Amino acid sequence: MNKYIGKICPYCKSPFTENDEIVVCSDCDMPHHKDCWIENKGCTTFGCQGTIQGIDFEVDTSISSAPKYEVRDAVSVKDSEQPAFCSKCGAQLTEGMAFCSKCGAQVVASQQNASQNTYSQRVTEVTSKLSSEIKTVMNDYKTNDYLDPELGDYIGSKKEYYLNEFSTLKSQNKYNSWNTFAFLISPFWCMYRKMYIPGAVILGIDFILAIIGGAVSGILAIAVAVLVGIFANYFYMYDLEQRIAKGKSLSGTQKAAYLEQKGDTNATIPAVAAVIYVLVCVILFV
């Protein structure tokens, strides 16, 4: 079975099925529907210059029943010079064409493709080494490789936004996704999303930095807010999956009560916390 079946196409946001023609990017390995790749005129990953690749797979019964995957170059070459398909968007090429009629990319001889992709490959290698440090830290916060069908029941407001963000994080195997509200009101956003302990910790850090004062404390407070804004969606997804896992053993009225307690949002606690925080700051600093 193709390992991409059930994953989400980053362009059309639809899951891959057994009947779909799936291609992957030569640089970042992002899977796409072939039609989506062609319509987007390339990989959906921002700044990626990878070329289109197809997928072959066969079952290796000597090891297990799991499929053994092999990536192949989907650009077939009629001869040593003229490719049959555009390496950028995958569109059919006519012999003798200098530029692709679909995306306008220059038609390059197959032998030259490797050397021209060297720069983007090196960039990918560097960024992967940097991201490996983050991945090491995040190993304890691994989420499922699929979107649980119960996620929407627990999110509450802005369900469509968060489901799209979660889908992108999973399909691109990423940890970071910007959340403006989490950046601007970090502790209160956490409490609103029923992540009370992280919200209290962040509020405590902000309070300590406010007491210390000075430029360094201000910079540290901004740095904390930026980090929360970057990783908030991933940790929210992780937190929701932990709640769902605990609720799967329940049924009937017990599960309904659990969902009411752990799902949706809570505007009361962050509002009360904000009022108390402001009053304490006024008493101490005014």
Contact 155, 148 (CB under 8 A): no
Length of the chain: 286
Distance between CA atoms of residues 2 and 31, nearest Å: 11
* Domain positions in the chain: 1-108, 143-285
Give the pLDDT confidence score for residue 75 in this predicted structure: 41
Mean pLDDT by 10 residues, the chain (286 residues): 78 87 85 86 80 59 41 41 67 72 65 50 60 69 86 93 93 92 96 96 94 92 95 95 92 92 95 95 86
In this prediction the pTM is: 0.55
**Nearest of 117, 116, 90, 108 to residue 24 by alpha carbon:** 90
Beta strands 31-33 and 52-59 are unpaired
Tell me the two tokens of residue 82: 């003229």
Q: Which two tokens stand for residue 41?
A: 């005129």
pLDDT of residue 82: 56
Angle at 13 (CA atoms; ends 9, 18), nearest 5 degrees: 50
Predicted pLDDT of residue 76: 40
